[in-house]
Amino acid sequence: FFLTTPHTTQNMHTASLKQFSSIAKSSAQKLLPGNAHIHRSYIANPRMARTPSFESSLKPSPIRMHEPRISTYPIQDKSKLPLHNPERVHEAALKKMEATQFAEGHQFVPQMANSNLPQWLHTPQSFVYDLKSGEKVDLIDLDPFYFRVEPRKDVLQRAIVWQLASRRRGTKKTKSRFEVKYSSKKLQRQKGSGKARHGDRGAPIMVGGGRAHPIQPKDWSTKLNKKERYLALRMALTLKFRRNELYVVNDLTVDAQKTNATANLLHNNFGVNHESSALIVDGNLQVDPNFERTSWNLHFVDTLSYKGLNIYDLLHRQKFIITRGALEKMSLERMDGSVRNNGRKVMTRIG
């Protein structure tokens, strides 16, 4: 190798860097005349020439382009393709793959955990049950706005903390020494009595006196953006759907106005009992009076109108039973607060 020749080792300590570079260059041209592809930095820089990987670097290595993991599936109906790519695929890589193989009739999507089909082809569906018999009577499509959102623990946690903090009354209060009902007169003279020094009777050191640092009314509520609150509720609905804890019923009408009959009905048809509680949501502004009256004493059942649906009650109970009318009204009004009424936009709110 040209670095170990006597000529180079003899002049290594005496010659300057510029002279050594010229020596190394001339030696390389003598010993390796055919390697014209050697980069000039390996000859001009002695440190790079002394590296063990210099010899291996003489061989040109193939260029490896980064290609993302992408799975393909044949297109059955090209008219059903979305206008925009629903998955987060690298744009340059996607265009490259489409340009080379799209003519063969393939659409490229990232590999999914549960299916080879993209997420936009999955429409959430649910059976409709009869409340009295528990039989499946229909199959409906759920609104992807509510039931196809990727849940996040941090968003759910912030929403629950916000709700629990906002419902605290914060009215606790204790009296200070100036608020207790005692005279503000000094009990005894400052000196000459032989006793400890005291002020008025309401001092914190006295029994029955005011507190030194009294508790005052406090607002415990925190700030959470409206979009994040609505997003958390949508995530909770999606979570119930993915865990198979969502039950859609026709209505909440019951025949017998007995608590025992309603408890047996919920237990036999939906498995609701002391160990598996449920949140039941009606599509009317007022829950059916007979059902609300019969389920009032069931501590494992909560009844709400779709207007009062919230994330804490939704996650606090194991099962979620909602009427078909409530789903239709939620899809109509959405959580952005807008609903169309005879061509006029009316503001409302859910959650």
Whether residue 327 contacts residue 247, with contact meaning beta carbons closer than 8 Å, is answered with no
**DSSP-assigned beta bridge partners for residue 156:** none
* Most confident range, picked from 64-68, 157-161, 334-338: 157-161
**Across residues 16-29, what is the average pLDDT?**
54
Band of pLDDT at residue 238, cut at 50, 70 and 90: very high
Interval 117-134: pLDDT, tens: 455 456 888 899 999 888
247 burial via Cβ count (<10 Å: 0-12, 13-18, 19+): buried
Q: Report the C-alpha dihedral over residues 198, 201, 206, 212, rounded to 10 degrees.
A: -90
**Across residues 100-114, what is the average pLDDT?**
49
**Across residues 9-13, what is the average pLDDT?**
46
By percentage, how much of the chain surpasses pLDDT 70?
Answer: 60
Give the chain's radius of gyration (CA, Å).
38
The alpha helices in the chain, defined as continuous H runs, are 6-10, 17-31, 40-44, 46-49, 54-57, 91-101, 144-147, 153-166, 226-242, 259-270, 289-294, 311-316, 324-333
Between CA 267 and CA 321, with CA 350 as vertex, the angle to 5 degrees is 10
Closest to 276 in 3D by CA, of 317, 307, 316: 317
Calpha distance 165→220 (Å, rounded): 6
Both tokens assigned to 218 = 């406090």
pLDDT of residue 164: 94
Interval 270-295: pLDDT, tens: 999 999 999 999 988 888 888 989 99
Q: Report the C-alpha dihedral over residues 226, 308, 144, 318, rounded to 10 degrees.
A: 110
Band of pLDDT at residue 41, cut at 50, 70 and 90: very low
Whether 346 has a pLDDT exceeding 70, the answer reads no
Whether 308 has a pLDDT exceeding 50, the answer reads yes
pLDDT of residue 255: 85
Band of pLDDT at residue 191, cut at 50, 70 and 90: very high
Both tokens assigned to 312 = 């804490």
By percentage, how much of the chain surpasses pLDDT 90?
Answer: 42
Band of pLDDT at residue 236, cut at 50, 70 and 90: very high
Whether residue 57 contacts residue 50, with contact meaning beta carbons closer than 8 Å, is answered with no
pLDDT of residue 123: 80
Residue 2 neighbours by CB distance under 10 Å: 18
